[in-house]
Chains A and B, each alone.
Chain A
Amino acid sequence: MKTFFYPRLAWDGLRKNKRMVFPYILTCICMICMFYILVFLSSPKTTELLPRGRDMTQMVMTLGCVVIAVFSLIFLYYTNSFLIRRRAAEFGLYNVLGMNKGNLCKIVTFESAITSGIALILGLVAGIILSKLAELGLVKLVGGTVTYSLRVDARCAVITVLFYLAIFALIWISSVIRVGRSSAVSLLKSEKAGEKAPKANWFLGLLGALILGTAYYIAVSIGNPIEAILWFFTAVIMVIIATYLLLIAGSVLLCRILQKNRNYYYKPAHFVSVSSMVYRMKRNGAGLASIAIIATMVLVMISSVTCMWFGTKDMLDTRFPGDIDYTIRFYNGSLLTDENRDNIRKIIADYGQEHDLKMETALDVCFAETTGYGEENRVYLGSESADVSSVTKLRDIFLISVSEYRRMTGSEITLNEGEAVAFATNCKLGNDTIELITEDRTLSLELVKADEKKMKIGDYREELVPTIKLIVPDVYAVASALGISTEDMFSPLTFTWRYCFNVENYQGSMMDCANTIRKEVEGIADTQPEMAANFVVISEERETEGAEYTSANGSMFFIGIVLSAVFILAAVLIIYYKQISEGYEDSKRFEVMRKVGMTGKEIKKSINSQLLAVFFLPLIFAGLHLAFAYPMIAKLLMLFGIYNKGLFMTTTLISFAVFAAFYIVIYKVTSNTYYNIVSEAKNA
């Protein structure tokens, strides 16, 4: 039986520690399963099933794989070192009973082999089974044809097995080193060493508060999406640093300040709780901060990907006002006349009648656009003179004639020469006058209040970048007052006509339709030679391009859910292990408190309040972070075409509510384990 001695000892060791080993194996299984699924989804054989956006999906899934890979490596390594440390006393005992380092390493090796083997086999099986489900989900989401046969991709399985074998090997080596280095006495004693009283670190605590305040301020004061991109990562890193500082140093500092306040501290309800919290926070600050960060990450991810997914239709409606969207640019501005517009409309309508199409105009608006940079109410036109050092000063300017405005909005407004109505998005504009400045001229326009009837020109830029829409009596007059030629191809002012319409009954793809009609429109040059080479039709069409967006958003939604699941799992495990180690620590203290005259009820109450505080701190931090990140993320989502703030608010609130509910369930389950440990120790 000697040959089975070590395997049996290893197996017994695992079984005796099942409270700690079991969740670890479960996590390994889940990570392997998720990894296989993502490798599987990113493989060409799966993306073939998708109608469109294969490259996009493949890229997103591969990215997801990389994230899970890095995360598994760090997280499993960290968890395992925790397990080995907790079992130091057990190994110390074996050592005292006469096992040498070599024997101990043998046990560790067998244990590693057993856990890795179980995790790999079960993880792979679960991955293969669930990969079908994932494939179905993804294909359904993006809108492809579904097949129901189970498929095993050997290449993906091999990649998964090799990768996790490497991770497990690394973990095994580190455990062997850890066990090999320690001595019997130190192993046995390690738990008894007195713990130093944590000192309040004013500097780090205040620094944390300061950094967090700054990060929050940045997030809240961001003016537009472009700024949001620039500052987002800075803010994220600041928040991460601040969370760690606050939970590690700030919490100890807070407890110490509370202890200084004698009237508060020397109360039965606070006395034990506050003084134990100091130690608890010192031990757990880093873990809690990690949980807070993971929770924030999950919340941000879930709320934005769901918002993007459910906002896809809205986004397409904004991005593509009609089935077919033409942006017709006139290099010679004087050609953008009502007559020419009528001619083009007629060409399109005629084509529709000929081919029995049902057409309906969705958007029909013309304007002159240019770029400039602005300081409050002074706007410098022409990009040559622009102060490019400051992105935030860039302005897109749209000049719209008042007749067009009246036609579009039904407003009754009339404007005299030198008057204008201005609408600014993403930038500030005063109420009195606006000055348009070119190299040699300045035009001052008196601002008249319109009755707040904003108009849409169906251009995605109008929400993204700082934009000023100016309604003027006569666009050409403004141009000439500024000395800008309107008949020059190189004029900074571009005359644009957006003509978007819906089409029904077309036999064939919308893309064909859009191209055919575009050719018809371009044919106008045959009868009107002056149009030739002086205008261009840029055609966009909702069906094809929209599908790309749908597929991209679908993949993001999918990967968001998968990654969130992995991160939540990790957070749960951290929480669980924290509760266990707390339980062992507290069971000793519990007994002393009982002996010095605390009732079981008092002890339970005090421990409960500490557990609650420790447990819900991360959730509170995550909630705060999310609340302050909200405006910034809302702006970032605009870059993806999501302007529906209500939708994002809804997904954020739902995500938080669901997460909080889940968190409370985890709390209930893990605190049960905690109480079991504490009461077990009492009975022993």
Chain B
Amino acid sequence: MSLLDVKNLKKIYKTRFGGQEVEALRDVNFAVEEGEFVAIMGESGSGKTTLLNILAALDKATAGRVVLKDMDLSGISEKEIATFRRDNLGFVFQEFNLLDTFSIEDNIYLPLVLAGNNYKSMRARLMPIAEKLGITEILKKYPYEVSGGQKQRAAVARALITDPKILLADEPTGALDSKASDELLKLFGEVNAQGQTILMVTHSAKAASCAGRVLFIKDGEVFHQIYRGDNTNETFYQKITETLTLLSKGGNR
């Protein structure tokens, strides 16, 4: 049994006045095993953000099933969905989404506070994570006082502190310079090595080359997937770019 199972996922958007229908996802099928690091790639408009939003329970699918560890997402009521998200999923966004009214420390505590934890236990959970992510020094600072890379690491800490079943990342390197990107990807690799399942949406081949498996989405379907196997980052990167070129030429499987 996989950790995450996506079957025949379909999503159709209707324009406001009901006229045109846009098919964002046609028929998406894939599964993620526990401890995997999966990257999803595709061009703009291929439907990868829609897919992530559905996995994150921020959006509802038109048809198909998403099952996370025996829980069917479509079967969760609107009321429980926020709690479900809080307990099972961790998020890292391109725009960090840190609240500027909180210090870095309080930003990281946010999901735990909402779940009703007390300060002592939160602090005990935070310290090892902060140590690992190298943000111990900046915990008392405010988001506007730290760099983009530090903000993103704080966001990772916020995602990890609830001990999620799966970490969802949406273009996590999109707003970072190359050095900060490298550091973040290295961090993802380390977190994954310790057993954290990660699902990352990106269109950076560099970022994808750190994953263990890459799914390619085109026109609302999983078009192709490649495994890292024994490849190094560099050769895997090569393979990914080749696939992308093939994809953009409109080739077949």
Decide if B119 touches A263 in the complex (CB within 8 Å): yes
A interface bracket (residues with beta carbon within 8 Å of B):
20 to 34
Q: Does A97 contact B (CB under 8 A)?
A: no
Once A268-B114, A595-B93, A596-B91 are accepted as A-B contacts, the answer to whether A275 and B101 lie under 8 Å apart by CB is yes
Decide if A595 touches B97 in the complex (CB within 8 Å): yes
- Tell which of A194, A263, A597, A599 touches B111, judged by Cβ atoms closer than 8 Å: A597
Interface of A is mostly: helix
Decide if A266 touches B82 in the complex (CB within 8 Å): no
Decide if A592 touches B85 in the complex (CB within 8 Å): no
Q: Does B237 contact A (CB under 8 A)?
A: no
- Tell which of B81, B99, B122, B143 touches A194, judged by Cβ atoms closer than 8 Å: B143
**Chain B, 87-103, CB within 8 A of any chain A CB:** 91, 93, 97-103
Q: Does A673 contact B (CB under 8 A)?
A: no
**Which chain B residues lie closer than 8 Å to A596 at the CB level?**
91, 97, 99, 110-111, 158
**Chain A, 267-282, CB within 8 A of any chain B CB:** 267-268, 271-272, 275-276, 278-279
- Tell which of B85, B91, B101, B113 touches A268, judged by Cβ atoms closer than 8 Å: B113
- Tell which of B81, B86, B101, B109 touches A266, judged by Cβ atoms closer than 8 Å: B109
**Which chain A residues lie closer than 8 Å to B143 at the CB level?**
194
Q: Does B116 contact A (CB under 8 A)?
A: yes
Interface size on B, residues (CB 8 A): 31
Q: Does A657 contact B (CB under 8 A)?
A: no
- Tell which of A194, A595, A598 touches B58, judged by Cβ atoms closer than 8 Å: A595
Q: How far is the CB of B88 from chain A (nearest CB, A)?
A: 10
Once A271-B110, A271-B113 are accepted as A-B contacts, the answer to whether A589 and B142 lie under 8 Å apart by CB is no
Decide if B82 touches A599 in the complex (CB within 8 Å): yes
Decide if A275 touches B106 in the complex (CB within 8 Å): yes
Decide if B102 touches A275 in the complex (CB within 8 Å): yes
User: In the bound complex, how far is the Cα of B103 from the Cα of A271, in angstroms?
Assistant: 12
Q: Does B30 contact A (CB under 8 A)?
A: no
Decide if A598 touches B99 in the complex (CB within 8 Å): no
Q: How many A-B contacts are there with CB distance less than 8 Å?
A: 67
**Chain A, 578-627, CB within 8 A of any chain B CB:** 589, 592-599, 602
User: In the bound complex, how far is the Cα of B144 from the Cα of A196, in angstroms?
Assistant: 8
Q: Does A262 contact B (CB under 8 A)?
A: yes
Instruction: Give B140-159 as 1s and 0s: 1 = Cβ < 8 Å from A's Cβ atoms.
Output: 00111000000000000010
Q: Does A154 contact B (CB under 8 A)?
A: no
**Which chain B residues lie closer than 8 Å to A275 at the CB level?**
99, 101-102, 106
Interface of B is mostly: helix
Once A263-B119, A598-B114 are accepted as A-B contacts, the answer to whether A592 and B99 lie under 8 Å apart by CB is yes
User: In the bound complex, how far is the Cα of B115 from the Cα of A597, in angstroms?
Assistant: 10
Q: Does B194 contact A (CB under 8 A)?
A: no
Q: How far is the CB of B166 from chain A (nearest CB, A)?
A: 14
Q: Does A195 contact B (CB under 8 A)?
A: yes
**Which chain A residues lie closer than 8 Å to B79 at the CB level?**
599
Once A194-B143, A271-B113 are accepted as A-B contacts, the answer to whether A597 and B86 lie under 8 Å apart by CB is yes
Decide if B144 touches A266 in the complex (CB within 8 Å): no
Decide if A195 touches B109 in the complex (CB within 8 Å): no
Q: Does A70 contact B (CB under 8 A)?
A: no
User: In the bound complex, how far is the Cα of B110 from the Cα of A276, in angstroms?
Assistant: 13
Q: How far is the CB of A602 from chain B (nearest CB, A)?
A: 7
Decide if A262 touches B119 in the complex (CB within 8 Å): yes
**Which chain B residues lie closer than 8 Å to A276 at the CB level?**
101
Decide if B93 touches A195 in the complex (CB within 8 Å): no
Q: How far is the CB of A85 from chain B (nearest CB, A)?
A: 20
Decide if B106 touches A597 in the complex (CB within 8 Å): no
Interface centre among A272, A278, A279, A594 (most CB of B within 10 A): A272
**Which chain B residues lie closer than 8 Å to A266 at the CB level?**
109, 113, 117-119, 122
Decide if B82 touches A598 in the complex (CB within 8 Å): yes
- Tell which of B82, B93, B100 touches A597, judged by Cβ atoms closer than 8 Å: B82
User: In the bound complex, how far is the Cα of B111 from the Cα of A279, in angstroms?
Assistant: 21
Once A197-B142, A266-B119, A266-B122 are accepted as A-B contacts, the answer to whether A593 and B99 lie under 8 Å apart by CB is yes
**Which chain B residues lie closer than 8 Å to A194 at the CB level?**
100, 143-144
Q: How far is the CB of A192 from chain B (nearest CB, A)?
A: 11
**Which chain A residues lie closer than 8 Å to B114 at the CB level?**
268, 271, 597-598, 602
Q: How far is the CB of B76 from chain A (nearest CB, A)?
A: 12
Interface centre among A266, A272, A598, A602 (most CB of B within 10 A): A266
Decide if B91 touches A595 in the complex (CB within 8 Å): yes
**Which chain B residues lie closer than 8 Å to A595 at the CB level?**
58, 91, 93, 97
User: In the bound complex, how far is the Cα of B110 from the Cα of A598, in angstroms?
Assistant: 9
User: In the bound complex, how far is the Cα of B111 from the Cα of A268, in angstroms?
Assistant: 9
Instruction: Give A234-270 as 1s and 0s: 1 = Cβ < 8 Å from B's Cβ atoms.
Output: 0000000000000000000000000000110011100
- Tell which of A195, A267, A268, A598 touches B100, judged by Cβ atoms closer than 8 Å: A195
Instruction: Give B43-63 as 1s and 0s: 1 = Cβ < 8 Å from A's Cβ atoms.
Output: 000000000000000100000
Closest to A268 in B: B114
Interface centre among B58, B109, B114 (most CB of A within 10 A): B114
Extra 17 A-B pairs, beta carbons < 8 Å, given A271-B114, A592-B99, A599-B81: A194-B144, A195-B100, A263-B119, A266-B109, A266-B113, A266-B122, A267-B113, A268-B113, A275-B102, A592-B98, A595-B91, A596-B97, A596-B110, A597-B85, A597-B86, A599-B82, A599-B83
3 interchain residue pairs of minimum CB distance: A194-B144, A599-B82, A597-B86
Can you identify 21 A-B contacts, CB atoms within 8 angstroms?
A195-B144, A197-B103, A263-B118, A266-B118, A266-B119, A271-B114, A272-B110, A275-B102, A275-B106, A278-B101, A279-B101, A595-B58, A595-B97, A596-B97, A596-B99, A596-B111, A597-B85, A597-B86, A598-B82, A599-B79, A599-B82
